[in-house]
Amino acid sequence: MDLIKRVKTYRLTPALDERQRLAESIVLEIEKPLRFFVFNLLALPAAADVFQETLKAIVVSLPTFKGESDKEFWGWCKGIVRNKVKDQLRKQMSDRLQPMEPEQLWQLVDSSAQSTPLSAADRIDLEDAMKILAQARPECVEFLWQHFVLGLDYSELAQERNLTYDSVRMKIGRCLGEAQALVA
What is the end-to-end Cα distance of the chain in Å, rounded? 76
Does residue 113 share a domain with residue 60?
no
φ, ψ (nearest 5 deg) of residue 117: -65, 145
What confidence tens digit (pLDDT) does each residue in 34-85 have?
Answer: 888 888 877 778 889 999 999 999 999 999 999 999 999 999 998 898 889 8
User: Considering the entire predicted model, what is its pTM?
Assistant: 0.52
Provide the residue range defining the domain that includes 175.
Answer: 102-183
- Looking at 67, 96, 125, which one is the last position of a domain? 96
Is the pLDDT at 123 greater than 70? The verdict is: yes
- Looking at 62, 80, 96, which one is the last position of a domain? 96
**Closest-CA residue to 19 (of 30, 34, 8):** 8
What confidence tens digit (pLDDT) does each residue in 2-31 have?
Answer: 989 999 998 888 899 999 999 999 999 999
pLDDT band at 93 (very low <50, low <70, confident <90, very high): low
pLDDT recorded at residue 95? 59
Does residue 33 share a domain with residue 89?
yes
Per the structure, the count of domains in the chain is: 2
Q: 38-43 — which CB contacts under 8 Å span 24+ positions?
A: 38/81, 38/84, 38/85, 41/85, 42/85, 42/88, 42/89
What CATH number does the domain containing 25 carry? 1.10.1740.10
Does residue 108 share a domain with residue 66?
no
- Looking at 47, 69, 96, which one is the last position of a domain? 96
What CATH number does the domain containing 156 carry? 1.10.10
